[in-house]
């Protein structure tokens, strides 16, 4: 769980964006009860974040479902009580967070289920294709949906990609340079061919990324690494164009990790509303 003070800081930043000129709609401030209601079926995410937001402004959350729960159209996600002005001030920001996070958790859970039906050990992981300023919540949503957050930032592991190799000029040289970066970090290398995958494995990297490989190409890589006795020494990650429609085909190959930007950049937000009762 992200520390609460970081969540509060992000919420205040979002409110500052929405309240730059204040709330110019004049309404009487009085105690009211409000329900957040789902208008879609899916996996709810962001409940803890929403509770922190409401409670930071003295609004009582006296009933809610849990992050990761399944919801159906018409379900009450959360019930709150407090000053009407504060609830209305928070309404859009809280709903935006809940809707976005729930959409990500929903599509992540769908892809996890499909992949693990054919490969029980595979992980569905996020990428850094996230919304600037909202990454921590998108990564949290992936985890709530049963996925892996992967890297939160550039410093989480040493990742050698095609552009790094282009700058250095040679795959082996790039790998050996990466090994000097930090003894505490895993080294992941993106390769462009079956032959490069074998080179990376023999150079002792921790993770090999097969980017934009077709399933039959991935199977060729696995066959070669097994033949050379190095398959069990590395994790194989596949990425590039993976969606709910084709995730099974990639999972069937026997890879360890499927990373996909789809779950963060293409997830449809869950439709939620706040209704004062």
What positions carry a catalytic annotation?
Answer: 92, 129, 161, 190, 211
Q: Which of 17, 75, 12 is nearest to 43 (CA)?
A: 75
First to last CA, the chain: 32
The strand pairing partners of 63, in sequence order, are: 79
Could you identify the residue written with the tokens 């730059």?
20
Structure tokens belonging to residue 48: 């803890």
Task: Write the DSSP assignment of 92-158 as a string of letters.
Answer: HHHHHHHHHHHHHHHHHHHHHHHHHTT-TT-EEE--S---TT-HHHHHHHHHHTT-B---SSGGGSE
């Amino acid at each position: 769980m992200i520390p609460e003070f970081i969540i509060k800081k992000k919420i205040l930043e979002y409110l500052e964006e929405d309240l730059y000129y204040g709330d110019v709609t004049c309404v009487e401030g009085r105690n009211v009860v409000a329900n957040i209601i789902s208008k879609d079926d899916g996996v709810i995410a962001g409940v803890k974040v929403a509770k922190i937001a409401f409670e930071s402004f003295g609004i009582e959350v006296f009933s809610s479902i849990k992050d990761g729960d399944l919801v159906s159209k018409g379900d009450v996600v959360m019930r709150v009580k407090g000053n009407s002005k504060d609830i209305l001030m928070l309404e859009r920001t809280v709903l935006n967070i809940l809707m976005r996070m729930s959409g990500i958790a929903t599509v992540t859970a769908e892809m996890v289920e499909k992949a693990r039906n054919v490969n029980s050990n595979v992980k569905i992981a996020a990428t850094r294709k996230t919304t600037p300023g909202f990454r921590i919540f998108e990564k949290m949503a992936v985890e709530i949906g049963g996925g892996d957050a992967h890297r939160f930032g550039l410093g989480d592991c040493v990742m050698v990609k095609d552009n790094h190799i282009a700058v250095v000029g040679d795959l082996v040289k790039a790998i050996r340079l990466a090994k000097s970066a930090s003894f505490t970090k895993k080294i992941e290398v993106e390769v462009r061919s079956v032959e490069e995958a074998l080179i990376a494995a023999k150079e002792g990297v921790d993770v090999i990324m097969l980017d934009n490989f077709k399933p039959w190409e991935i199977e060729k890589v696995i066959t070669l690494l097994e033949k050379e006795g190095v398959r069990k020494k590395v994790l194989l990650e596949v990425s590039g164009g993976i969606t709910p429609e084709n995730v099974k085909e990639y999972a069937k190959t026997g890879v360890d990790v499927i990373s996909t930007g789809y779950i963060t950049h293409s997830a449809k937000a869950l439709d939620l509303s706040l209704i004062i009762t």
